Chain A
Amino acid sequence: MSLAKRIIPCLDVKNGRVVKGVQFVDIRDAGDPVEVARRYDREGADEITFLDITASSDDRETIVHVVEKVAEQVFIPLTVGGGIREVKDVRRMLNAGADKVAINTAAVFNPEFVKEASERVGSQCIVVAIDAKKVSADGEKNRWEIFTHGGRKPTGIDAIEWAVKMADFGAGEILLTSMDRDGTKIGFDLELTAAISDAVNVPVIASGGVGNLDHLVDGVTKGKADAVLAASIFHFAEYSVEEAKRHMASKGIEVRL
Chain B
Amino acid sequence: MAQIVVVDYGMGNLRSVAKAVEHVAPDQSVIISSDANEIANADRVVFPGQGAARDCMRELEDRELTQVVLNAAKEKPFLGICMGMQVLLNHSEENEGIECLGLYAGNVRFFGNDLKDEQNEKLKIPHMGWNNVDQTIDHPLWQNINNNSRFYFVHSYYIDPEDKSLVAATCDYGINFVSAIAKDNVFAVQCHPEKSAQDGLQLLKNFTLWNGA
Question: Chain A residues in contact with chain B, CB under 8 A?
Answer: 1-6, 41, 46, 71-73, 75-77, 94-97, 99, 121-125, 172-173, 198, 201-204, 226-227, 256
Contact = CB atoms under 8 A, between A and B. Distances in A.
Given A4-B130, A75-B197, A122 B19 contact: no
B50 A203 contact: no
A124 B155 contact: yes
A203 B153 CA distance: 13
A97 B124 CA distance: 25
Given A2-B172, A122-B50, A76 B129 contact: no
Contacts of A2: 117, 131-132, 172-173
A256 B150 contact: yes
Contact of A6 (B123, B129, B132): B129
Nearest to B134: A1
A97 B19 contact: yes
B112 to A, nearest CB: 10
Contact of B195 (A4, A76, A95): A76
Contact of A1 (B148, B192, B201): B148
Interface residues of B, number: 39
Contacts of B173: 2-3
Interface in B162-213: 172-173, 192, 194-197, 200-201
B19 A124 contact: no
Given A75-B200, A75-B201, A46 B129 contact: yes
B50 A125 contact: yes
Interface of B: 13, 15-16, 19-20, 23, 50-52, 113, 117, 122-132, 134, 148, 150, 152-156, 172-173, 192, 194-197, 200-201
B196 A202 contact: no
Contacts of A226: 124, 128-129
Contacts of A256: 130, 150
Contact of B19 (A72, A77, A172): A72
Contacts of B16: 71, 75, 97, 99
B195 A75 contact: yes
A75 B19 CA distance: 9
Given A2-B117, A3-B173, A201-B125, A95 B15 contact: yes
Contacts of A46: 129-130, 152
Interface of B is mostly: mixed
A75 B129 contact: no
A202 B124 contact: yes
Given A75-B194, A75-B201, A124-B154, A4 B128 contact: no
A6 B152 CA distance: 11
A97 B16 CA distance: 5
Contacts of A203: 124, 126, 128-129
A3 B129 CA distance: 7
A202 B125 contact: yes
A72 B156 CA distance: 27
A76 B156 CA distance: 20
Contacts of A99: 13, 16, 154, 195
Contacts of A173: 128
A41 B153 CA distance: 17
A75, A123, A124 pick with most chain B CB within 10 angstroms: A75
Given A75-B23, A77-B152, A124-B50, A1 B15 contact: no
Given A3-B129, A46-B152, A75-B195, 7 more contacts: A3-B127, A75-B200, A77-B152, A122-B50, A122-B51, A124-B126, A226-B129
A187 B123 CA distance: 24
B132 A71 contact: no
Contacts of A202: 124-126
A204 B126 CA distance: 11
B196 to A, nearest CB: 7
